[in-house]
Amino acid sequence: MWFRESTRRQAEPLGITGHAVNLPDGSVEVLACGDEEALETLAGWLNHGPGLASVTRVERSEVDSSCPASFRSG
């Protein structure tokens, strides 16, 4: 399964909204809005991703952004 769609499938049951999108450099940007415990759970999963993923680095920062109503992968 693709990384972006797998991220959506992890985020939605946690009540997290946001997005997972490919960036021009080949990395994936994840915007995640939710309660701290849910965000920690998603962050832990992002460190390894789905079974065939090759995660080399996860960077985390807080941003001022309005939270979308759902989570989209695309």
Residue tagged active-site, from 22, 47, 57, 72: 22
Burial of residue 66 (CB within 10 Å: 0-12, 13-18, 19+) is: exposed
Task: Say whether 22 is catalytic.
Answer: yes
Task: Say whether 60 is catalytic.
Answer: no
The C-alpha angle with vertex 37 and arms to 28 and 19, in degrees rounded to 5, equals 25
Residue tagged active-site, from 4, 9, 47, 57: 4
Q: Which helix (H) or strand (E) holds 50?
A: none
Kindly list the catalytic residues: 4, 22
